[in-house]
Amino acid sequence: MKTETYNTRGEWLEARKRGLGGTDIAAILGASKWSSPWRVWAEKNGHEFEQVEREAMSLGRKLEVFVAQEWADRAEKYIRPMSNAAIVHPDHDWARFSPDALVAADDYTPDGLCGFKPGAIYEGKISAGYGSDWGPDGSPCVAGNVPEAYRIQLAWNLAVSGLPRGVLVCLYRGTSIREYWMDRDPELSDRLLTFAGEWWDKHVVRGEMPEVDGTADCSTALTLAAGEPDGETGISDELAGALAAYHQACAEAKVAEVWKAEEANRIRALMGPAEKATGDGWTVTWKDSAPSERVDLDKLREDFPDVYNEVMYYAQAQRRLTVRRKAEK
């Protein structure tokens, strides 16, 4: 099993650009809530999305270390943490992943006479949600028992490493530790590697863009790829077609917004003083929202300039798209 180690987290992050990991595969397949094909395309082609390190992310990484050792102690397993490291496919340098830890084979004993013998991949997650994505503790790592992005990630890790088993361990809502085992499926591994290889060749080696969609990630990636605004271009037939479609979409959206507002007011009129209506499969509420907090930035800047300068930061600039059509005479 081919392994790469890095001296710093910065080196590890830089090395991730050289291939596709488990989270990338989940994003490309449309299963990720946190990434997308466009984000993966941009980052692998050198266009970095703005990354804001939040406290929850830092705490999550620290919790994952604790959960891994706690699970190992309870399961009576030996694990080897894999901080700032990657496992690379022996035949495809672009196929890689960074496991949280490796689980020792069942016949391994830490007697000092031989090296660590891995038998499974360990992948840890922290779940604070209340959804139904997580099945009972000990159930298999299959669709319906774990979030789809995590299932794909573990399947990819097994495909790359060649190890026979993997375990997904979750700190569920901060109250319990759950485990979900997966056996390596050779057929699934081959399909994932074939799909990923074709995607890498098309979208990274040749640099072709993914299919344009309406996501924010697509907009950000296109802005980053375009670089600094420069010059002017004519209206090609293809661009003219896109402009006509955009103009039509705007007109239809405006009609839809008016219709939506009209029907909302009709609902209010029919409900009268009632704040809730139920029946026929519907639940409608019409009540006051909780007061929201606002910060007066002008007052903060004027009265507390030091605090203002400390907390203020500039978000990544976005090029604004404006489309105007000459009025027909």
What's the pLDDT at 188? Answer: 97
- Residue 136, CA distances (Å) to 31, 72, 139, 167, 280 in order: 21, 19, 6, 14, 33
Is residue 118 located within the same domain as residue 259? Answer: no
In a domain, 295, yes or no: no
Is residue 144 located within the same domain as residue 217? Answer: yes
Structural domain for 6, as ranges: 2-225
Is residue 15 located within the same domain as residue 156? Answer: yes
pLDDT digits (tens, 9 = 90+) for 226-267: 888 888 889 999 999 999 999 999 999 999 999 999 999 999
Query: pLDDT in tens for each of the 329 residues of the chain?
Result: 888 888 888 888 888 899 999 999 999 999 999 899 999 999 999 998 877 667 777 787 788 889 999 999 999 999 999 888 999 999 999 999 999 999 999 877 776 556 788 999 999 999 866 556 899 999 999 999 999 999 999 999 999 999 999 999 999 988 899 999 999 999 999 999 999 999 999 999 999 999 999 999 999 999 999 888 888 889 999 999 999 999 999 999 999 999 999 999 999 999 999 999 999 999 999 988 777 888 888 998 899 888 888 888 776 556 777 777 776 65
Cα 192 from Cα 186, distance rounded (Å): 10
Tokens 């600094």 belong to which residue? 228
Residue 278 region by backbone torsions, left for phi larger than 0, else alpha for psi between -120 and 50, else beta: beta
Is residue 96 located within the same domain as residue 215? Answer: yes
Residue 103 region by backbone torsions, left for phi larger than 0, else alpha for psi between -120 and 50, else beta: beta
What's the pLDDT at 308? Answer: 85
Is residue 172 located within the same domain as residue 249? Answer: no
Final residue in a domain of this structure, among 169, 203, 225: 225
Q: Residue 142 — φ and ψ, nearest 5°?
A: -130, 170
| CA Rg value for the chain | 25
In a domain, 82, yes or no: yes
In a domain, 49, yes or no: yes
Of 125, 143, 121, 124, which Cα lies nearest the Cα of 133?
A: 143
Pair 177, 67: CB distance under 8 Å: yes
What's the pLDDT at 52? Answer: 66
User: What CATH number is given to the structural domain containing 87?
Assistant: 3.90.320.10
Is residue 51 located within the same domain as residue 18? Answer: yes
State the Cα torsion 4-6-9-11 to the nearest 10°. -90
Is residue 83 located within the same domain as residue 111? Answer: yes
In a domain, 162, yes or no: yes
Within 10 angstroms of residue 28's Cβ, the number of other Cβ atoms is 24
Is residue 219 located within the same domain as residue 251? Answer: no
Both tokens of 321, joined, read 């798209």
Is residue 91 located within the same domain as residue 9? Answer: yes
Convert the chain into a string of H (helix), E (strand) and C (coil). CEEEECCCHHHHHHHHHHCECHHHHHHHCCCCCCCCHHHHHHHHCCCCCCCCCCHHHHHHHHHHHHHHHHHHHHHCCCEEECCCEEEECCCCCCEEECCCEEEECCCCCCCCCCCCCEEEEEEEEEECCCCCCCCCCCCCCCECCECHHHHHHHHHHHHHHCCCEEEEEEEECCCEEEEEEEECCHHHHHHHHHHHHHHHHHHHHCCCCCCCCCCHHHHHHHHHHHCCCCCCCCCCHHHHHHHHHHHHHHHHHHHHHHHHHHHHHHHHHHHCCCCEEEECCEEEECCCCCCCCCCCHHHHHHHCHHHHHHHCCCCCCCCCCCCCCCCCC
Is residue 185 located within the same domain as residue 207? Answer: yes
Is residue 180 located within the same domain as residue 255? Answer: no
Is residue 196 located within the same domain as residue 241? Answer: no
Name the domain count of the chain.
2
Of 166, 191, 192, 169, which Cα lies nearest the Cα of 66?
A: 169
In a domain, 101, yes or no: yes
